[in-house]
Chain A
């Protein structure tokens, strides 16, 4: 081989490598957080998933504190009109976007108008409310949202999430749907870069002049850089924490919590705002028969799932809402537990009563010549697959055969929308009981395909009732309805666990907002 040829090769590779500059100088003043998934985009109007990674850049209008109460965010006060159709927000003064644009009512209007525009194709417009009529600038620091129907849940749900973050209007107009490539907000950190599959880097916003009311620090953060490393693999993420390369571990795998605690890491836990459930497709045989659903519900023992699939980091739940969503009722929870507590004998008896017998002695019940055999969809997530296997073993005890099917996220969603599933292992998470409407209202309910005019009426009433006490009662009725109908088997309320390097001080975990990082007081 000639030298000339080798020379050409050398030049080619020199060119290639000189173009690579992914490496960042790690700084002592950098807080490193390990996160599990790479956000689709940081333009959070265009994603269905918000967590620390795409939330820190922005501020929401209202914040929910660690005590569950609502605190001022970019809005200093808020008010719902008598008829429930108008929300008025008074805005914080003196706030600037990272590019220097002033924050005011015009920004709020521009942001929400953009969210509603069809070109934006926002998947989360329902956060603003399906019946929004207009957004009105009353004065520079007052904005009103007008609705066609009462929309009481706005502040409790959408307005506290990153989804309704406010964008700088001029910059937004300039960038349009390219906004997410270099996003700008009002938050405590500024965007530096997002290297897909590797990390997102943020830099402190030195002009940040406020902080959540429940935090001590009412100014800029106490560290310079925030680096979020995307490490999907469980064991790798944990090792990186242990080796000191990561300060805060998002999504600590349950099986590692105990050991990390013993190694001196600080462990923070908080329940998720939702539950994992086993959902039947009630339009499909044999789940069209409520007796089958109820019998299968009684075949499930939640404790082994929690102990062995989730290492104890969950609590069992029987009713539709977890205790950290405000219209939870202990009475309903107990009633559901009474009805669907673990009782395999009873489960078998109920199945027999419904006409299921094992006539050929293979251990699987039959009816009309068909086996009690069906699919259970799970995602490609280790702990869900473990739970699925435990469900499989439990229902086998009462004579049903479950075939697990691992389904990719995209195919899962499309499959549910077409009603292709037999049963699913799925979860929901939200801050307001309105979520039950999203899940069970006819036309929306593609997870269980449950439909009842009576329930639809209740859901409509609950969504528009302005009086909080009355609303609560309606949601109790909805929950009772679901307990009786049994389209699903609520299983457990998972805990989110953060493991934190002991050198980090001032970190708190917000039990009502596990996906938001409370960074104001963090220092090291």
Chain B
């Protein structure tokens, strides 16, 4: 076997001996046990609380927001945080607090879509590579090329091809994070493939499709959940970074990265323009990282001690 010097491989080595779902009949009790451990995990719970709060604020933004986030009010222009405007107002007199509430919708969507994009393509290619020996080499070489591209530069180039905009930024971030899924899923599939019950299923004449769907995929779920949670955080950061370079969402969409970008012109007069969107990004990314971390602890049998 060739040594693969990639961080995600090292990180993912642990699930090569997952006991998970060795027998499908005790899946329920396994789930219950996992959930119990998850609830006891401080980091995961902290992350979960942050994310639930942000999710609620996204869902109920219209009810919670004191102002229409796009309404201009030149009289209240650039006012500092106050009782009227908790986080102050921007150069158009728009209420920053309301913008941030609405912005959480966009960040969640950005994360969700780019992660889903990477997930779908990554899982398909990863399973194919792991399960079908003939295609393995080809797909992994493609992945090598893919990985050799600097991620953020790749995203910028993709946006240059597709044109700036929210959707394109999400696709760009998704494409840039796909190879990691391929590697993780392939690794997990490889480790499952050699298990006896797969051989047994094969001997019983199960089709490839059936084996993949019923036996292989369930075993890939745990690492994917962990990876996706962590990639969610990265996706939000990258998308904010693209917006910060002016390549992400189009104005006046209240995306946090774009808000921070626009704040640069006023960094001297109005610190609140940049501070709060930055904090919001930090908070959401932190939430996903904490949750992802906790999930990893819980789903990783070797760490339970």
Contacts and interface: CB of A to CB of B under 8 A. Distances in A.
Question: Direct contact between A and B in the complex (CB less than 8 angstroms)?
Answer: yes
Interface of A: 233-235, 238, 253, 255-256, 259, 304, 307-309, 378, 380, 382-383, 385-386, 388-390, 392-393, 403-408, 411
Contacts of B262: 382, 385
A28 to B, nearest CB: 29
Contacts, number: 60
B163 A407 contact: yes
A405 B250 contact: yes
Contact of A235 (B91, B246, B247, B264): B264
Contact of B266 (A255, A307, A408): A255
Contacts of B165: 405
B218 interface: no
Nearest to A393: B72
A411 B163 contact: yes
Given A380-B246, A386-B91, A389-B92, A406 B164 contact: yes
Contacts of B77: 308
A404 B163 contact: no
Given A386-B91, A408-B164, 15 more contacts: A233-B264, A234-B265, A235-B264, A235-B268, A259-B268, A307-B74, A308-B92, A309-B91, A380-B246, A389-B251, A393-B72, A403-B250, A405-B250, A406-B164, A407-B164
A393 B264 CA distance: 22
Interface of B: 72, 74, 77, 91-92, 160, 163-165, 246-247, 250-252, 262, 264-269
B250 A235 contact: no
Contact of A406 (B250, B266, B269): B250
A233 B244 CA distance: 12
B264 A234 contact: yes
Most buried by A among B250, B264, B265: B265
Nearest to B252: A389
A429 B264 CA distance: 27
A393 B266 CA distance: 21
A382 B164 contact: no
Nearest to A311: B91
10 contacts: A234-B265, A235-B264, A253-B265, A382-B265, A385-B251, A388-B251, A404-B250, A405-B165, A405-B250, A408-B160
A383 B169 CA distance: 23
A392 B252 contact: yes
B264 A308 contact: no
A180 to B, nearest CB: 25
Given A255-B269, A308-B92, A406 B264 contact: no
B272 to A, nearest CB: 15
For the complex of A and B, the 6 pairs showing the least CB-CB separation, nearest first, are: A380-B246, A235-B267, A382-B265, A385-B251, A389-B252, A404-B250
Contacts of A383: 265
Given A253-B265, A385-B262, A308 B160 contact: no
A404 B252 contact: yes
Contacts of A390: 72, 92
B265 A304 contact: no
A81 B163 CA distance: 51
Contacts of B251: 378, 385, 388-389, 404, 406
Given A235-B268, A382-B262, A308 B91 contact: yes
Contacts of A388: 251
A261 to B, nearest CB: 14
B241 to A, nearest CB: 15
B74 A308 contact: yes
Given A235-B267, A405-B250, A304 B74 contact: yes
